[in-house]
Chains A and B, each alone.
Chain A
Amino acid sequence: MAAADSSSATLRRCDLCSRGIRLAGKMRSDVVDLLDTYAEQQGLDASASVAAVEGVPVAAVEHWDEQTGTQRLLENLAAYRAFRALLAQMLEEQQEQLGEADAALSRALAAVLLQVSAFAYHLEELLRLESRGPPSEEGARPPQPPHLGLFERKLRGLGVLRELAQWAIRSARDLRQLAKPSLGSSSAPSLAESP
């Protein structure tokens, strides 16, 4: 019975990981398109360096290969919950703008927001499967929108989308690590040393 449950959980985990990888891939593709549209719309250079933006989860990580499965899931979930709030703020600001191009940008933002929400839910499911359960969002206050001028808000938006694109790639990698059959949630994988 225990073996059957474990096998069922493994299959479910594998299935969630595979679907999550596909979700992350689609999300990345849409975020990259949105990034280009956003930069063009806001009159920004999409490749311009943007200083780290306060409140935006940074995808960059050291010792990535040493993380446990649970660490990966928790960091991903925290990030996507934050992006959900950030994108909602951006959408609200964008919807105040007039014009057809602005409406198109709003629709694209809304579509990505939906994917981010879906991915966050997906991560919560994976955490439930780890018998750990996702951390509660109750009591967690959404980040206060900083008082920024128009140009600063545009740059912040660029920073948000750029980090989200990186997160989408990182998430796919994290889920592939999780999907490896030899790993439990608490064990850290290690990359084979190259010859």
Chain B
Amino acid sequence: ESHIQYERVGADVTMKCGSMDWDAAVTWTVNGTDIDESHLNGSYLILKNVDLTQSGQYSCYEGSSWHLKYQTYLRVGTPPKEPVLMCRSNNYPKGFYCSWHLPTPTYIPNSFNISVIHGTREMVCEKDVFPKNRCHIRYLQLFSTVKYKVTLTVTNALGKSSTTLTFDEFTIVKPDPPESVVAKPVPNNPRRLEVSWQNPSSWPDPESFPLKFFLRYRPLILDQWQHVELSDGTSHTITDAYAGKEYIIQVAAKDNDIGTWSDWSVAVHATPWTEEPKHLTTEAQLTETTSASTSSFMPPPTTKICDKGAVVGSGAVAVCWTAGLVLAAYGVLFI
């Protein structure tokens, strides 16, 4: 007869060889390997201070006949610690979901039970097939001031633990990030980028429950973000981009009235339009050759060389000086 036996890490375990007497001659094996007699007390197997590596199949055989007298599967683990529970509505006003996990593994099977109470009403949380640690609830009422109380209990053979979340309908509303973010240069506009995006597909009714958006952008070479909040529409034109610089852009969404901001969308990169380099003349060749040896903060030919608005950081001064020297050298040539 086979059993499963659960024991805590650090426990002392005594296994009896079924109905065999204490003084019977027996042999114990674990996963088919003989166990040294030093672990035996008569026919009892003694395991002190068990650890995870001692999980396995333990078998006891009668000494002479080698008849299997007892078998058990020992699983060493821990009782569950307080689970981490999170509830969120990313599809308001349809419903919300709760998901959970254990902060540390128990190494033995756990079962989860979740209860959702709204006022006096117990609501059904339908478990998702995947992932297994999630369930969803349909809102039966909207605009309620009565709080929701969600209790999650985790149970295993060694103990149980629970946690409770209490929240308002509105506070857990957090859309998914905007989708399909696209950023494009604007032809003939070296300081503009056109950004567009779509409402998250999980948001069921953006017409009745409109989202507002937060856009952030920065050139890759800088750490500081620019931010723009947009109360409607799913596009925006950045008009103060640094010419020729590659930008990173992200968008977040929030219900117009309630809840919190989504996570940031996937980042997109774009560089504002720059003019195609013209056919090189002597003057242009001189300018090009000299400029190639300065920093990368080079404005496009349409921009004044010393226009500090078109270049970034300490490179601006270097470019101005260099251009001045070039012009001076050119001037000397013609004296």
Residues of chain A whose beta carbon lies under 8 Å from any beta carbon of chain B: 25, 28, 49-50, 58-62, 64-65, 162-163, 166-167, 169-170, 172-173, 176-177, 180, 189, 191-195
Q: Which 4 A-B pairs have the closest CB atoms?
A: A60-B144, A59-B143, A170-B143, A194-B204
Known contacts A49-B146, A191-B94; 10 further A-B pairs (Cβ under 8 A): A49-B147, A60-B143, A60-B145, A64-B142, A169-B258, A176-B207, A191-B205, A191-B208, A194-B94, A194-B204
Cα separation A194 to B144 with both chains bound (whole Å): 22
| B208/A60 in contact, CB under 8 A | no
- A-B CB contact pairs (8 Å), 17 listed: A28-B257, A50-B145, A59-B144, A60-B141, A60-B144, A60-B145, A64-B143, A65-B93, A162-B145, A169-B143, A170-B143, A176-B207, A176-B210, A180-B207, A191-B204, A191-B208, A194-B91
| A60/B210 in contact, CB under 8 A | no
Max chain A Cβ within 10 angstroms of own Cβ: one of B140, B143, B204: B143
* B261 CB, nearest partner CB in chain A, Å: 18
Cα separation A172 to B142 with both chains bound (whole Å): 13
| B: number of interface residues (CB 8 Å) | 22
Q: Chain B interface mostly helix, strand, loop or mixed?
A: loop
| B144/A177 in contact, CB under 8 A | no
Cα separation A173 to B93 with both chains bound (whole Å): 11
* B50 CB, nearest partner CB in chain A, Å: 47
Task: Report B-chain residues with C-beta under 8 Å of the C-beta of A61.
Answer: 141-143
Task: Report A-chain residues with C-beta under 8 Å of the C-beta of B142.
Answer: 60-61, 64, 170
The chain A residue sitting closest to B202, CB to CB, is A194
* B80 CB, nearest partner CB in chain A, Å: 29
| A59/B145 in contact, CB under 8 A | yes
| A177/B140 in contact, CB under 8 A | no
| B144/A25 in contact, CB under 8 A | no
Instruction: Write the B119-155 contact mask toward A (1 if CB under 8 angstroms, else 0).
Output: 0000000000000000000001111111100000000
Cα separation A153 to B164 with both chains bound (whole Å): 31
Task: Report A-chain residues with C-beta under 8 Å of the C-beta of B93.
Answer: 64-65, 191
Task: Report B-chain residues with C-beta under 8 Å of the C-beta of A177.
Answer: 208
Indicate if B209 sits at the interface (CB-CB under 8 A): yes
| A167/B145 in contact, CB under 8 A | no
Task: Report A-chain residues with C-beta under 8 Å of the C-beta of B202.
Answer: 194
| A25/B207 in contact, CB under 8 A | no
Cα separation A49 to B207 with both chains bound (whole Å): 32
Task: Report A-chain residues with C-beta under 8 Å of the C-beta of B207.
Answer: 176, 180
Max chain A Cβ within 10 angstroms of own Cβ: one of B145, B147, B258: B145
Indicate if B201 sits at the interface (CB-CB under 8 A): yes
* A66 CB, nearest partner CB in chain B, Å: 12
The chain A residue sitting closest to B170, CB to CB, is A169
* B257 CB, nearest partner CB in chain A, Å: 5
